[in-house]
Amino acid sequence: MSDGQLHAIVGDDDFLVRQRSKEIFDELAQAFPDELSRETVDGRADRVDDVARILGEVRSAAGTLSLFGGGMLVWLNEANFLNQTRVGASQGSKDELDKAKDFLDKLGEGTQVIFSACPVHRNHAFVKWLQKNAKYEDVSKNEKSDFAFRRIVEETSKDCGVAYAPGAIEMLAAKIGGNARLAAEETRKLAAYLGEEGKEISEGLVADLVPEFGEADFFEAAEAFSSGDLAWTLETIDR
């Protein structure tokens, strides 16, 4: 495998892992302007058979020749089988991952593969293999949780054209338990409430409009249920 063709992003916070993986995907996508040369594979597995199917999809996508020449950009997104869960710890999943090493070691010229996973068990054999054979990033170790939270809030508020008043970010963190994913969602909500005229999110606004962490979890579960997405619904209920 050529250097730099396999990228591994792992961590314990699904939002941070997804965001960092998306940043890498968007950066690499500049070299793959045709949509047919880019593919995203859902990495969420409920049983061992899913692991085999998911890795098979990655193998097939990575081995496909682009219609316009060159390689493919493949993102295995949100793999959840590199841990000690029933699926992740099963011998069948480990066997499938061992087989995946063969094609990941022999990616075609120009092909790039992003392997993002959360949560992970850092003593998992495949995680250790990724550390040695991929451009490996552990976002949980790269940033302390409070710094990551503030970075997510500031980036999201900037995208929305607003800013937090002194003390407002700390108020937000206290209300939602420092959850980075919820912080981004609440920031967008607050920016929408302010409208085009408002530019600053105050402590008072956060206190009035942001629900406590437990209430926020309920709203997410209700939204997931309403969407008809079974996997998301079960994930929010379990969390």
- How many residues in the chain? 239
- Pick from 41, 36, 69, 62: nearest CA to 53: 41
Query: Tens digits of per-residue pLDDT, 87-121?
Result: 998 999 999 999 999 999 988 888 999 999 998 99
* Structural contact between residues 14 and 123, judged by C-beta atoms closer than 8 angstroms: no
What is the rounded CA–CA span in Å between residue 159 and residue 153?
Answer: 10
CA nearest 79: which of 160, 146, 17, 169? 17
What is the predicted pLDDT for the residue at 239?
Answer: 61
Contacts of residue 84, Cβ cutoff 8 Å, sequence gap at least 6: 121, 124
Helix (H, G, I), strand (E, B) or coil at 144: coil
pLDDT of 2 reads: 54
* Confidence bin at 235 (pLDDT 50/70/90): confident
* Mean pLDDT score across all residues of the chain: 86
What's the predicted TM-score (pTM) here?
0.66
What is the mean predicted confidence (pLDDT) over 50-79?
Answer: 87
Q: In this model, does residue 219 exceed pLDDT 80?
A: no
- pLDDT bin (cut points 50, 70, 90) of residue 221 is low
Q: Which residue has the higher pLDDT, 233 or 184?
A: 184
Cβ contact 162:198 at 8 Å: yes
Q: What six digits make up the tokens of 94?
A: 């480990």
- The more confidently predicted of residues 142 and 184 is 184
Question: Three-state DSSP class for 73?
Answer: strand
pLDDT at 234: 79
CA distance 189 to 183: 10
In this prediction, residues 68-86 reach a mean pLDDT of 88
| pLDDT value of residue 215 | 46
Instruction: Report helix, strand or coil for 6.
Output: strand
Q: Is 109 left (phi over 0), alpha (psi -120 to 50) or beta?
A: beta
Which of 73, 59, 75 shows the shortest CA–CA distance to 111? Answer: 73
Query: In sequence order, what are the beta bridge partners of 39?
Result: 74
Distance CA 185, CA 156 (A): 9
Residue 178, CA atoms < 13 Å, CB-side half-sphere: 7
Distance CA 12, CA 189 (A): 25
DSSP 197: T
Q: How far apart are CA 194 and CA 192, in angstroms?
A: 5
Does residue 76 carry a pLDDT above 80? yes
Beta pairing partners, 77: 42
pLDDT at position 178 = 81
Q: What is the DSSP string of 76-128?
A: EEEE--BSSSTTTTSHHHHHHHHHHHHHHTTPPTT-EEEEEESSB-TT-HHHH
Residue 115, pLDDT score:
97
DSSP 43: -
Q: For position 216, what pLDDT does the model report?
A: 43
